[in-house]
Structures are given as structure tokens and as C-alpha cells.
Amino acid sequence: MAKGIVIAGTHSGCGKTTVTLALMAALRRKGLVVQPFKVGPDFIDPGHHALAAGRQSHNLDGWMCGRRAVQDVFARHAWDADIAVAEGVMGLYDGFSPITEQGSTAEVAKWLKLPVLLVVDARSMARSAAALVKGFAEFDPFLNLAGVAFNRAGSENHAKLLAEAMTLAPNVPLAGVLRRREGLATPSRHLGLVTACEAPLSPATLEKLADWIEQGLDLNRLVANLPHLAIYPPDDPDLPEPRAVIGVAWDKAFCFYYDENLRLLRESGARLIYFSPMEDQALPQGLHGLYLGGGYPEVHARALAQNRSMRRDIRDFCRSGRPVLAECGGFMYLMDALVGEHGQNFPMAGVFPFTASMNDRFAALGYREATLARDCPLGPAGLKVRGHEFHYSSIPDEAYAGAGLYIVSDRHGSLARPEGFTEGNVVASYIHLHFGSNPSLAPRFVDACASAVPASQ
């Protein structure tokens, strides 16, 4: 029977991703079957998890999907593992709202009855670190805070000071102290870490991570103290006979997809065929629809622009009346042009008559609740969906005069703005939808694709 643990942080940047990857690598090296998860909407961390754990990582997002869906995803993938390791998001108590636990790591940990290992960046702290831990422990007495791992200790003496200070917080076990070590952090850029498909963690790096965490934490004791979980495999339906073939863009430029979205499409009767807008010269034959997910098209803009035949194929497909769902990076690809990382202008597919330009700061970040403003391949007007928006690119303000796919509500439920664009049966937006937010999304998109005449190119 599986065990499980959540790796949470006091804040973003405390080192919880590095600790999570190190723990996964070390437990796998010990011969355990490790099932990784990521709390929240992030696409990048799960790719690195898969390399460290040797199994596909899955998102657990309480705000987008709700309690039942989170529990189902966890059970579906953790039941046959020895241990499930879930990396948290932001700080332990941070989420959708500053005054509730909605969308937080703490909420998911309690839903799944998982103990939490709190990662604390202990640089330049000693006694204050114990005060910080005590505050986190007492903030929510219903949370099982199973231990604390101090990260980035500067010396052996610093580690001893931290251990001594923890006598002031006797109700929280000290799992260990991790020394500061150069070169262990995973590479990052504007949207977070570099993706696993661009810069995969090497076996040597994973070995170093495993060595590092074993030197600082007693993993045998940590695992031994974890409770067994009462989880069982869900009764997943048999996959139906495919009734629509959907092309999914997948390469270094487009790799941001929720695995649950792809599963729900398959369960709704879709056969998914993957292709590369960067490297393939043409779309696969016989497609009823396209799914163009997010990623880093701005990083690979030159290669995308140089593939003229694929740009033409996708433009023609969009004009054929067949359904297309394009999210964030996929939306950028369908524009006239993209101004890349270094200010160069690159032609894209030309479905929407505007240009995406990169900014030095976030253009948008956060959860989104959206209501369909018109009938489209995703469903009828009035359908409510949830997703996440996170990008540095922007389009001209005047372009939004043509927006009208969604009416987007902000965190307070107020009507904020129109968002998203349609062109025939193309639906495109900066929002990454989670199909788990509305059970009709995947079936309706597959229905729309199945009604289309397959492409014959």
C-alpha cells in the first residue's frame, strides 16, 4: 500500500523544486516506485519530475478542478506506487485567495490526508527559523506538518545552530538540514524553469541531487514515519472506439498540456496524433481537429518561421472550418507575427491579424474563470470553465476590440474583460483551460471534431 508526502515551501524560491527532485531521485535509487505530482497549474515542474521519478507527473489543482477530481487523479496514479511525492505551489498557504485556503498546497494536502514536509530557506537565520516554523505549524492546526527541512545552510556550524533552535518548536520534527551547494538548482528563465524537453536533467545531475539530500536528511526514518494511504484504483471506463482524430502539437516550442486534458479527450472518443510544428513539414493526414497548446514559441520563433510548409498547412486547416483549440503559445503561433526574445519579427501562421510582442514583466498571471460568450466547439454560450493565464507576451490593446470568446471574471467574481478570439471554428486565447473544470468540455470538443470532415492533405 502506498505512502505519500507533500513537499511545501514557506514561499516561492525557497528551493522546494530542488528538494523535491532530489527526494524523488534518492527514493527511486533506493528501489522505490515513486509517483510524482505537482500541486497547482504549473506545466514545467512535472516534466522534471518525470525524469527524476521515472513516471509521468500529474497536476493536482484544487481551484480549477475541485476536491473530487483531485482525489480521483491522485488515486488513479498513486495506488500502485510505493510512495507518492507531491510538490507544492508557492508558499504552503498561498492559493487563489489571501484569506482562504482555496487552491493552496495546504488544501490539497488535507484533501488527500498527506503529511507535509516544509522546506525553509535558512540563509542568514538561526533562532528566527524556529519562529518561522512555529508560525507555519500553528497557523492551521488541522494540517499534518510532519517535519521541516532547512535548506541552504552555510556551514556545519550553521546547521547545528538551526537544529538547536528547533528545540523551541518541539512539536515539529526536524527532518534534516541541507547544505548550500552550487550547481544544483535547475536552470530557469522568464516563465520559471527551462522545460525538461529542452534541458533534461542528466543521470549525473540526478545522482548529485540524490547524494545531496541523503547527506542532509535521514530518508529511511522519513519514509518509515509516513502513514500508509487508503487509496484504490478508480473504475476508469474502457476507452471508446475513436470517433475523431485530433492532432496535438508537441515539440520544444509546444509542450504545455495538462495530462488530464489529453486523457479526457481520449475517454471522450478522440485518437490523438502528435506532430511537431518545428520539424514536421506537414500536418498528419486524416485530422478532424487540432489542439495547439502552450510553450515557448518565442524561444523557437526562428525555427517555426522557417517551416513555411507547416505554417501554410495549419493556416489552411484553420480556414477549412474544422475545430482548432489554441492556448497561449498556440494562440501566438496563429497570429500574423511574433516578436522573439531578441526583438526580431518572425512570421507565424497568419490566422489572427495581430502581432505578439515580448515584455520584461508579466503581461498576465493568475487563475481565470471564464464564461463562453458565444457558441463554439467548446460548448454553448453560457458554459463556465476555469483555467490559468501566465505569459510575458502581449498583443496590441486595439486587438481586444475583436475579443469575444469569453467573459472573464476576476478573483472577486466581477466581470473583468472580454478574452479570446474565434475565426470560424478556431477558438484561441491566452488562457490554458483545464478540462477537469467542466465535465462537458472534452466531450463537446470531440463532438465538434467528429462532426467535421477529416482533412485529406
In 3D space, the residue among 365, 330, 378 whose CA is nearest the CA of residue 351 turns out to be 330
Longest alpha-carbon distance in the chain: 71
Phi, psi of 318 (to 5 degrees): -65, -30
Cβ–Cβ < 8 Å for 247, 298: no
Q: How many CB atoms lie within 10 A of CB 145?
A: 24
SS3 394: strand
Question: Rounded CA gap, 211 and 448, in Å?
Answer: 51
Q: How many CB atoms lie within 10 A of CB 13?
A: 11
Q: Which cell goes with 325?
A: 483549440
Cβ–Cβ < 8 Å for 8, 16: yes
Phi, psi of 429 (to 5 degrees): -165, 160
Question: Rounded CA gap, 315 and 132, in Å?
Answer: 55
Marked catalytic residue, from 65, 318, 328, 376: 328
SS3 95: coil
* Catalytic residue list contains 197: no
Question: Rounded CA gap, 294 and 305, in Å?
Answer: 17
Phi-psi region of 335 (alpha: psi -120 to 50; beta: other; left: phi over 0): beta
Question: Rounded CA gap, 64 and 367, in Å?
Answer: 8
Element (H, E) at 6: strand 3-9
Q: Which residues are catalytic?
A: 328
